[in-house]
Amino acid sequence: MAFEGLADRLQNTMAKIRGKGKVNEADVKEMMREVRLALLEADVNFKVVKDFIKRVSERAVGQEVMKSLTPGQQVIKVVKEELTELMGGEQSQIAVSNRPPTVIMMVGLQGAGKTTTTGKLANLLRKKHNRSPLLVAADIYRPAAIKQLETLGKQLSMPVFSLGDKVSPVEIAKQALEFAKKEHHDYVLIDTAGRLHIDEELMGELKDVKELSKPDEIFLVVDAMTGQDAVNVADSFNEQLGLTGVVLTKLDGDTRGGAALSIRSVTNTPIKFIGLGEKLDALEAFHPERMASRILGMGDVLTLIEKAQANVDAEKVKELEQKMRTQSFTLDDFLDQLGQVRNMGPLEDLLGMLPGANKIKGLKNMQVDEKQIGHVEAIIRSMTKVEKEQPEIINASRKKRIAKGSGTSVQEVNRLIKQFDDMKKMMKQMTNMTKGKKKGLGMK
Ligand code: GDP
Maximum separation of any 2 CA atoms in the chain, in Å: 82
First to last CA, the chain: 50
306-333 pLDDT, tens digit per residue, is: 777 776 677 777 777 777 777 778 888 8
- Mean pLDDT, to the nearest integer, of 414-419? 89
d(CA 13, CA 377): 41
pLDDT of residue 438: 41
Which residues, including other chains, have CB under 8 Å from residue 297's CB and lie 6 or more apart?
7, 10, 11, 14, 355, 356, 357, 358, 359
Where does ligand 1 bind, in terms of residues with CB under 6 Å?
108, 110-116, 194, 249-250, 252-253, 275-278, 282
Segment 221-230, tens digit of pLDDT = 999 999 899 9
| Confidence (pLDDT) at 443 | 31
Ligand 1 centroid to residue 278 C-alpha, Å: 6
Distance CA 417, CA 408 (A): 14
| Model pLDDT, residue 357 | 60
Distance CA 176, CA 170 (A): 10
pLDDT per position as a tens digit, 156-214? 999 999 999 999 999 999 999 999 999 999 999 999 988 777 888 889 999 999 999 99
Segments of 153-261 assigned E as strands: 160-161, 187-191, 217-223, 245-249
Which has the closest alpha carbon to 335: 374, 307, 390, 369?
A: 374
Give the pLDDT mean for 257-264. Answer: 92
Instruction: Determine the residue of 148, 198, 248, 278 to mutate for testing ligand 1's pocket, defined as the one with the most ligand atoms within 8 A of the Cβ atom.
Output: 278
Minimal CA–CA distance to 7: which of 55, 42, 31, 40? 42
Mean pLDDT, residues 360-368? 52
pLDDT band at 440 (very low <50, low <70, confident <90, very high): very low
Report whether pLDDT(94) > 50: yes
Mean pLDDT of 398-408: 94
221 CA distance to ligand 1 middle (Å) = 10
Cis previous bond, 101, omega within 30:
yes
> Running DSSP on this structure, what letter comes out for residue 163?
B
Q: What is the mean pLDDT of residues 142-147?
A: 87
Q: Is the ipTM above a cut-off of 0.90?
A: yes
Q: What whole-number distance in Å separates Cα of residue 9 and Cα of residue 256?
A: 12
Mean pLDDT of all residues in the chain?
86
CA of 111 to the centre of ligand 1 (A): 6
